[in-house]
């Protein structure tokens, strides 16, 4: 199974909304990236930022499962989305 860039970006934006709705997760992402909330807001559509949200989800299995259940996604979808976005970044 592979995803188009549009499908991958949609999943990544769902991940953004999921992380943003969880204060603890958002604080963890900000600590991990060193970015501020303002930085993320201004760069949210950049592929690198979308990839960072997906990478963050993939680092915690419980959070990943919770996200996939909430979004109605297969647990492999975020990983596939990350791959599609990273391929776009590389090209």
The pLDDT assigned to 40 comes to 86
Q: What is the pTM of this model?
A: 0.91
Pairwise pLDDT comparison (7 vs 91), residue with the higher score: 7
Q: What's the alpha-carbon Rg for the chain, to the nearest Å?
A: 12
The pLDDT assigned to 41 comes to 86
Enumerate long-range contacts of 86-89, CB under 8 Å, 24 or more apart: 86/51, 88/5, 88/8, 88/47, 89/47, 89/48, 89/51
**What is the residue range of 63's domain?**
5-90
SS3 helix, strand, coil % of the chain, rounded to 5?
80, 0, 20
Instruction: Give the whole-angstrom CA distance, residue 77 versus residue 91.
Output: 21
The pLDDT assigned to 1 comes to 75
Using the predicted structure, report yes or no on whether residue 9 has a pLDDT greater than 80: yes
The pLDDT assigned to 76 comes to 97
Averaged pLDDT for residues 12-29: 94
The domain total for the chain is 1
The predicted-structure confidence for 23-80, as pLDDT tens digits, reads as follows 999 999 999 888 898 988 899 889 999 999 999 999 999 999 999 999 999 999 999 9
Whether residue 73 contacts residue 11, with contact meaning beta carbons closer than 8 Å, is answered with yes
């Amino acid at each position: 199974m592979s995803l188009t860039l549009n499908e991958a970006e949609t999943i990544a934006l769902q991940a953004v909304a999921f992380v943003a709705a969880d204060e603890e997760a958002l604080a963890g992402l900000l600590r991990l990236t060193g970015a501020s909330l303002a930085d993320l807001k201004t760069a949210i559509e950049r592929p690198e930022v979308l990839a960072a949200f997906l990478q963050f989800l993939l680092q915690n299995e419980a959070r990943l499962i919770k996200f996939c259940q909430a979004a109605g996604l297969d647990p492999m979808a975020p990983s596939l989305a990350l791959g599609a976005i990273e391929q776009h970044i590389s090209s």
